[in-house]
Amino acid sequence: MIGFFEAFNDPSGHTFSEIFIKAVIKFKIMLHAYLIAGVAACALGVKVIYNLSGKYFRTRCAYLLRSKKAAFNAFETLTSRYEGLCVCRALPNGKKYKNTLILDENGIAANDLEKLLHYINGFIRSGKKVVLLDCMDYFIRENDFEEAVRFLHSLKDQIALNESILLTTFDLKALSKREQCFIKQEMDKIM
């Protein structure tokens, strides 16, 4: 007796049972891939350390925040648990942080990206730090765009290696579509 599902064949000549079994196998493979990705994230030490109104900040990640206020609020909250470094041209009124690097005042110029990267690397080397980079537009003005993106790429690599978090704020509308794509590629999340 032919089973109910065996009577239905697809145009390729496969029975319903064969198609169903293949689908289950594909699902199982996809499920294993998701599980492996989750295990890999745990093994790498990626963990949520801050939740701001449903927005999660994870170690080893770079975030582009659309508003300065949101970036400074996230930085202040994160630095209540982890040591932070604020890199900026000038602090907002009334703000004061333990570790602040004001460009062009602390011996590091905005056009000396190698020296700045070395300084930030020294700060995050011990791990689990937060860096707020509140001057990406200034880096682009003082250097050529490609050099600023290379700096951001190198900094992001160091952030990942040292289990830290990078926060930056920047108005993407000031860039061309092509330049926006380059900046977005370096960010793990845009908020």
Domain 48-190 has CATH 3.40.50.300: yes
Ordered by start, the domain boundaries in the chain are 5-44, 48-190
Q: Which residues pair with 87 in a beta bridge?
A: 101, 133
- The owner of tokens 């333990």 is 98
Mean pLDDT of 7-27: 62
Is residue 23's pLDDT more than 80? no
Nearest-angstrom CA–CA distance, 131 and 165: 6
Mean pLDDT of 96-120: 90
Its pTM stands at: 0.72
pLDDT at residue 85, as a whole number = 96
Q: The tokens of 39 are what?
A: 């295990």
For residue 110, the 8-state DSSP code is T
Is residue 134's pLDDT more than 50? yes
